[in-house]
Amino acid sequence: MQKIRIAFMCVAMVSASAFAQVSNSLSQAGGEYALNQTDPSVDMMDNLLIELYSTNPAWKFEEKDYSLYGYAETDTPKFSNEVYKERVEKLAGLSEMPYEYNDRAQSFINLYVNKRRTQMRNMLGLSQQYFPLFEQELDKRGMPIELKYLSVIESALNTNAVSKAGATGLWQFMYGTGKLYGLKIDTYVDERRDPVMATDAAFDYLQDLYKLYDDWFLAIAAYNCGPGNVNKALRKAGGGKQTFWDIYEYLPSETRGYVPAFIGASYAFQYHKEHNLKPAEFGYRYDMVDTIMITKKMKLSDLTVFLNMTEDEIAIYNPALKTKTIPGYPYPYPLRLPMKNVALFFANEENLYASLNSPVQKESNNTLVSTTTTSQSNTATNTTGVDIDPNEPVKITYSVKKGDNMGYISDWFDCTVTDIKKWNNLKSTKIIPGQKLKIEVPAGKKDQYAAINSMTLKEKQNLTGIAIVGQPEEKKEEPVVSYYTVRSGDTLWSISKKYPENTIEELRELNDLSKNETLKAGAKIKVVK
């Protein structure tokens, strides 16, 4: 099912990478490659790092005193091409990644370690915050640790990076792909910007791609341009077992620079000391945070006086927040804060909640819960005087309509695709009209959510403000699931001809049939009419 999921993505990811095209016009001087000054890759890299500062105003980099290391800040060591080649080959010997040295890789090595040294020092500083998170997850999954460098060429380690095509976050997820891999995206929250959530989703996607190609460079190329383009390039190159370099000329131009950029980033981070590159100081410590569960809707400005933090400083620890509002109701929101400020929050918790007077907030529970192991019980106290806690989750049933998809449904019911799959024990995101889905909602809003079941597609999309793209609502009678009694000689193909609304794959999916499973006369199977 993983392969089916990937095959139906058009262009699943669009990179905000700084490296759209590679300049093949290189000159040599003193044994060192010189990158063309007009290469668009350099301009894009600069734009990414300018955006990094503008979208994260609380980030402050401080240069170290380089005289302490025995050299001036401007000292740039020079090496021969043979040295670069030997180092890249050493990387290849220590990794599953099929590293290869060539002039295209060298152009990006030069970009990182020679031409953009200040930006490289800043990224080295940021990597100290994010790489431990990436490495832990990669190690747990048994994936190459070097995949952490993909975030460098995707976003320059900027959690708020957004490409012209709309790809967002450290791992540059497009909207549809983010929803497909369980990331919540709504008015207030975009988990593509969340380092933990997005990293987990990105590695899920990379694992799915590796299952298709059994080659990490082909997998990361597909991460950039989508598996459809990689498959097309493989066919043009003659089929069979091919490498990235075998299909290089058949790939989209923006993808040709993607793997060379990855090699360049890998080299720069592995050998930054040899190039006199030291990490810039960065005040944010991602490993020194704790999480509290906010159960009331509030603005960041409501918190500042009680936390002794600015709105920008709170936002930097919570990049998934799209606005200056925390959507703590009807579902609790996990807010990350430095540990010292978590303690300050609990010391001022009573005064904070006393200052909040929103009518919606009055309906919610007044209890805040820390998610650390040392926190108190996370059971909310019922203060409403009714038998059922309004935040208590209850199940309702939603009937899938024509035009629905998992991403839409998760938006309407303020949950994630992963939630829906878990509640309904589904292995894929495939749904069909007439299918019944169990959805968990707060008891206090049960009727409000239940009303969604009778709305038109346009009315449901108006709930989220997300336009319906390429699928106008049809005023036809909704298909329903019925049962067909299998006759002697029937096959899925013959049944799909009797009921054209069903394809063979849809019949297998609907009835949980394997590809080799045969139909038995007298058995009843589900069909859509």
Residue 154: active-site member? yes
The DSSP 8-state label assigned to residue 433 in this structure reads T
For 512, other C-beta atoms within 10 Å of its C-beta total: 9
Whether the link from the prior residue into 442 is cis, omega within 30° of 0, is: no
pLDDT of residue 69: 41
The CATH code of domain 481-528 reads: 3.10.350.10
Q: Taking CA 45 as the corner, what is the angle to CA 43 and CA 51, rounded to the nearest 5 degrees?
A: 105
Q: Domain residue spans in the chain?
A: 2-9+80-282, 287-370, 393-464, 481-528
Strands 298-299 and 325-326: antiparallel
CATH class of 2-9+80-282: mainly alpha
Q: Which residue's entry shows tokens 């090595």?
A: 109
Same fold, 393-464 and 481-528: yes
Strand partners of residue 440: 395
pLDDT of residue 24: 32
Q: What is the chain's pLDDT, residue by residue, as a tens digit (529 residues)?
A: 444 344 334 333 434 333 333 333 233 333 343 444 445 554 565 566 566 555 555 456 655 544 444 444 557 888 999 999 999 999 999 999 999 999 889 989 998 998 888 888 889 988 988 999 999 999 999 999 999 999 999 998 988 888 888 899 999 999 999 999 999 999 999 999 999 999 999 999 999 999 999 999 999 999 999 999 999 999 999 877 789 999 999 999 888 888 999 999 999 999 999 999 998 877 677 667 888 888 888 999 999 988 989 898 899 899 999 989 999 878 889 999 988 888 888 888 888 878 875 444 433 333 333 333 333 333 333 333 445 567 788 889 998 888 788 878 888 888 888 888 889 888 877 888 888 899 998 888 888 888 888 888 777 877 664 443 333 334 444 557 788 888 877 788 778 777 877 777 788 878 878 766 778 888 888 888 7
CATH 3.10.350.10 assigned to 393-464:
yes
Distance (Å, rounded) from C-alpha 426 to C-alpha 408?
A: 17
Distance (Å, rounded) from C-alpha 167 to C-alpha 178?
A: 9
Tell me if 41 sits within 8 A of 15, measured CB to CB.
no
pLDDT of residue 247: 94
pLDDT of residue 238: 86
Active-site residue, selected from the candidate residues 32, 137, 146, 154: 154
Tell me if 487 sits within 8 A of 476, measured CB to CB.
no
pLDDT of residue 518: 75
pLDDT of residue 43: 56
pLDDT of residue 166: 87
238: Cβ contacts below 8 Å, ≥ 6 apart: none
Distance (Å, rounded) from C-alpha 352 to C-alpha 356?
A: 7
- Is the pTM for the entire model greater than 0.75? no
How far is the first Cα of the chain from the last one, in angstroms, to the nearest whole number?
24
pLDDT of residue 365: 35
